[in-house]
Amino acid sequence: MNDQRRGKSVLKFTIKMQKKLVVLFFFILLAFVGLSVRLFLINRDNGEEYKKQVLSHQEYDSAIIPFKRGEILDANGTVLAVSNKVYNVILDTKILLRKEDYLEPTLSALNRFFDIDSGTVRAYIASHPESSYYVMARRVEYEQKTAFEELCNDPEQGANIKGVWFEDEYKREYPNGRLACDLIGFTTNDNTGTYGLEEYYNETLSGTNGRVYGYLNDDSTLERTTIAAIDGNNIQTTIDANIQTIVEKYLREFNEEYKDGARPGNGAQNIGCIIMEVDTGNVLAMASYPDFDLNDVRNTENLLGMPLLDKDGKKVSPAESVTEEAIAGMNDEVMYQHLNALWKNFCIVDSYEPGSVAKPFTVAAAIESGSITGRETYNCEGMLHVGDHDIKCHQTYGDGPLTVQQGIERSCNVVLMNVAFALGKNAFVDYQHTFGFGLKTNIDLAGEARTASMVYNKNTIGMTDLATNSFGQSFNATMIQVITGFCSLINGGNYYAPHVVSRITTADGATIENIEPRVLKQTISRSTSETIIEFCNTVVTGENGTGKTARPAGYMIGGKTGTAETLPRGNKEYVVSFMGYAPADDPQIAIYVVVDRPNVAIQDDAKYATRIVKKVLTEVLPYLNIFMTEELSDKEREELEELQIQIRTPQTTGDETEGELDEEGNPIEPEEAGETGEHAEGEEGGEESPEENQGPDETWKSFPMDPETGYLVNPDTGEYLDPQLGTVVGGDSLVGEESTPPQGADDESAPKGAP
């Protein structure tokens, strides 16, 4: 009975519970339905707004932190290239479109502070309403950015300026503008180095970008993870900005003096100058003209006066110069060829026939090999018949018997050809390679030309080629090759690797690497080197020396002039040069100046180069604390005072004492010294007395002078002669028309720099 009651009770409870559960289920279901409806309504009415709020944080999701490119410094720590922080102006279209009230105030502010065209931005907004990243302006300065942000933070004026943010970037700047432009190079918009040091040391100067990662945590709080950028390393160069400035000043002065001279255009097609430490290979200065502003590399005004080129980079024929009209008619391809020609470094890219600057190399090779002693005498009759050619000397009347030293002093082709014949073809080729001709020096600059195909080898050189190669024609070289090899001739035979960078440091200043001078090989012995110095000194000091006009006030220097006729032969276009060193008795620096086709009626005169050398050394030698060795004339003293150059002699740092000193350091009076600075140039001529060296025909002394050029004129041939020496102007380049560089190499055959 009790069991029956309990069963009915359980059954009754279960039914009640089921009813309650059903009711509860319907309530829960109703709640879910209501919640779903609410979510639907929220999404319909406010979903886009909430979506924009979340997406507005997109800039934090993954932002790049740019690295700072390393600085380029001169030898004294002067900044030549630096990267300064700038900012890109970014627009988030979605935030800007949240309210109609945001659009006009924002566009107005952008135009006011950054000169951003409102019409362009409107067009972008219309076509990209969902965009969160649009670069409106690049590389704005910090002052502009902060001024804009101050306006945005103003509660009244900036309340409706929305959707604008700033992205960090670095801008490469060159504080000295044009200074060392060919050597430094520049960077592209993506921070990649182009030309010069910027390209060669691109990996060293470049760093690694950092990044900021952002996300929302469980509490909807923004969390950020930052990986810092690694800045690039700095490089300190061997370049002295003060010496570089002096060099560039006189290259520009030359251009201004001779611009539009014999033809419209620059003072020369190219002018180059290198100053190098003789015993280290350190480049103290390297410059060429025309130049350009590193902060405005595409300014076409710098092209005016340059040779006009075609789309292949070749000079148009007949020769023309770039004018404003020509620039206006250039397409992109032709414009690039001209800019590329402007940006390249003439000192390492262009090759040319070096001319008589090569004569000391020939003599050094012959002495070192034992082919000659250096004290031989050869008879110059004005020409030498080699093969089927009559190869002339610049003294067409002949100099008579000349020693090897006098052959260097007077730049006699006949003497040098005989020296080369004594040396022989195979040995000549071997020594050319020893001195670096035909080989890259591997200087640490981008774009150095390869010249292997521009010199003869043992299988291709003939006797005529040997003859003309002996005095620097029929083969090509670059300026850096010539000066690097020449330094070995005057420093005891040590061939140093030329270089421009001396140290690499971190952004914090810690030294990573010191780049020490490196001797790559021994070219000649010290005794041969001393003989070459002795011979080359007479080029400046000798009575018949061709380089007397290169001597700066207060110093005696040595060197060698060069004049080379360009291709095609007979075009009366020349490359003139002077390779010098100072002081004459203890060479410390070498200077090489090349003038490529000076803009004058008669180009074949090395004085266009020697005068630049004189002006440069007049300022550079005192700056380097190299003491004066020669008595100053009144005129020279006035020139130095005008330039505000301090007169420095071994005994003093002022102008209390000057002139030569005896063994005890006391000044010698001019009478005791035996010569004054005015006459020193002409007192150390050839070693032979007039009685020992008879033969030169001096008929030229009676020739009339051309008042326009100042040269004597041979009435029979029309040739111009030097009024002091009687030599045919530029005559050391007189070679047969068949004498050309191997494989058709000419001054335009070298690479034209990096693409």
What band does 159 get if pLDDT is binned at 50, 70 and 90?
Answer: confident
Token readout for 639 is 């020139």
All residues at 6 or more sequence positions from 706 whose CB lies less than 8 Å from its CB, including other chains = 712, 713, 720
| 301 pLDDT tier (thresholds 50, 70, 90) | very high
Reply yes or no on whether the pLDDT at 653 is more than 90.
no
CA–CA separation, 69 vs 218, rounded Å? Answer: 39
**380 φ, ψ to 5°?**
-105, 120
**Residue among 41, 64, 578, 496 nearest 274 (CA):** 578
Q: What is the mean pLDDT of residues 180-208?
A: 95
Question: Can you point out the beta strands (E) in 254-337?
Answer: 268-277, 283-289
Burial 388-423 (b: 16+ CB within 10 A, else e): ebebbbbbbbbbbbbbbbbbbbbbbbbbbbbbbbeb
Q: Evaluate if residue 669 carries a pLDDT over 50.
A: no
Instruction: Answer for the pair 445, 197: CB distance below 8 angstroms, yes or no.
Output: yes
Measured CA to CA, the distance from residue 172 to residue 84 in angstroms comes to: 7
Comparing CA positions, the residue from 357, 473, 488 lying closest to residue 434 is 488
Predicted confidence band of residue 748 (pLDDT cuts 50, 70, 90): very low
User: To 10 degrees, what angle do helices 425-434 and 463-470 make?
Assistant: 40
d(CA 608, CA 201): 35
Residues 6 or more apart whose Cβ sits within 8 Å of residue 569? 735, 736, 737, 739, 740
What pLDDT was estimated at residue 101? 87
Eight-class DSSP state of 168: E
Describe the crossing of helices 100-114 and 118-127 by its angle, rounded to 10 degrees: 140
pLDDT at 221 over 90: no
Which residue in this structure is represented by tokens 């789309």?
311
Helices within 175-298 (DSSP H only): 181-184, 196-200, 202-205, 241-258
Percent of the chain's residues with pLDDT above 70: 81
Q: Where are the beta strands (DSSP E) in 221-340?
A: 222-227, 234-237, 268-277, 283-289
pLDDT for the residue numbered 662:
45
Contact 249, 462 (CB under 8 A): no
- Residue 597 pLDDT exceeds 60: yes
Whether 553 shows a pLDDT value over 50: the answer reads yes
Average of pLDDT values for 435-440?
Answer: 97
- Tokens found for residue 289: 């003209």
Report the amino acid identity of residue 684.
E
Q: CA-to-CA distance for 549 and 540, rounded, in angstroms? A: 8
Q: How many Å apart are CA 255 and CA 265, to the nearest integer?
A: 10
- More confident call, 738 vs 296: 296
pLDDT confidence of 286, banded at 50, 70, 90? very high
What length does the chain have?
755
Q: For residue 611, give the H/E element and its range.
A: helix 607-623
Reduce the DSSP state of residue 87 to 3 states and report it.
strand
First to last CA, the chain: 111
**Rounded CA separation 431/453 (Å):** 16
pLDDT at 557 over 60: yes
Cα–Cα distance, 410 to 174 (Å, whole number): 45
> Which phi and psi angles does 737 have, rounded to 5°?
-65, -20
| 704: preceding bond cis by omega (within 30 degrees) | no
8-state DSSP, 500: S
Sorting pLDDT into bands at 50, 70 and 90, what band is 517?
A: very high
d(C-alpha 407, C-alpha 422), whole Å = 15
529, two tokens: 């080197």
State pLDDT tens for residues 341-387.
999 999 999 999 999 999 999 999 999 999 999 999 999 998 999 98
Cα distances from 489 to residues 183, 359, 364, 530, 590, in angstroms, run: 26, 12, 7, 8, 11
Judge contact between 734 and 392, C-beta under 8 A.
Answer: yes
- The tens digit of pLDDT for each residue in 474-515 reads 999 999 999 999 999 999 999 999 999 999 999 998 999 999
In contact, 746 and 565? CB cutoff 8 Å: no
Q: Is the pLDDT at 194 greater than 50, yes or no?
A: yes
- For 101-221, where are the E strands, in sequence order? 134-140, 164-173, 186-187, 193-194, 210-216
What is d(CA 673, CA 662) in angstroms, rounded to the nearest whole number? 9
Closest of 249, 281, 235 to residue 176, by C-alpha: 249
What are the residue ranges of helices labelled H in 602-695? Answer: 607-623, 634-642, 670-673, 680-683
